[in-house]
Amino acid sequence: MGEPVVNPKPLAGRTALVTGAGRGLGLAIADSLADAGATVYGSSRDLDTAEKIAKRYRTVPVILDARSGESVRAGVAAALEHAGRIDLLVNNAGVNVPKRAVDLTEADWDTVLDTNLKGVFLLTTELARHWIATGTRAAVVNVASQAGVVAIEERAAYGASKAGLIHLTKVLALEWAGAGIRVNAVAPTFVRTDLTASTLERPEWAADLLSRIPIGRFGEPEDIAGAVAFLLGGSASLITGQTLVIDGGYTIH
């Protein structure tokens, strides 16, 4: 028997929108999708970053603040006008305010939940209305977190937002399966990005967190990007409503 044929461009002909694609995990995901053949549109809340993303992927800037329904509608309309079709979505943009629960302010809570949960709901449903109306078969990957699966210190708001996102993934997958729309999530461990720098640069706590990961290292953006590309592609065509935990074994305990 010959060697199995591997398609080097499994996402060729697909068009993806990746939120928060300007740096860190979002940038790695966007690069991974582009390498797999997809046309990539990356969004940012500021024009300068959006323009840099557009230049990198030879598309157009998408300015989008997912916390605002008006901004979501405008950003999606602009992307669709240029692309003609978007059939892949990665909800990556997220924030964290790492504080003990008793120190969290109402504003802290709203910032985290509005970005990580409400924003995903607004953007995904906006695109889903278009997909359902046009009969587009699409795939979504939400970037959740192991903090949505197990309790982690200083993650009350963040963990609540990601636990909600994991459940939202299931509900949307259930409601939209008949329309040919798959919705999945990934739940990474601590990944070395700007978002986690304030945590991983604290030596004692970083050492404690690392001791909880059986594989013995923190994640790198590329560890997550490949999983996202897989879940968006045809090899995952029977997978929906699932959360792939990418944690080096953290949640085994």
Active site amino acids: 158
**Structure-token match 């050492």, residue found:** 207
CA distance 36 to 206: 34
CB 86 within 8 A of CB 13: no
CA distance 238 to 155: 33
Q: Which residues pair with 140 in a beta bridge?
A: 89, 183
CB-based burial, 130-168: b 16+ in 10 Å, e otherwise: ebbeeebebbbbbbbbbbbbbebebbbbbbbbbbbbbeb
Hey, what are 28's tokens? 């790695």
Q: Which residue, 68, 63, 66, 10, is CA-closest to 41?
A: 63
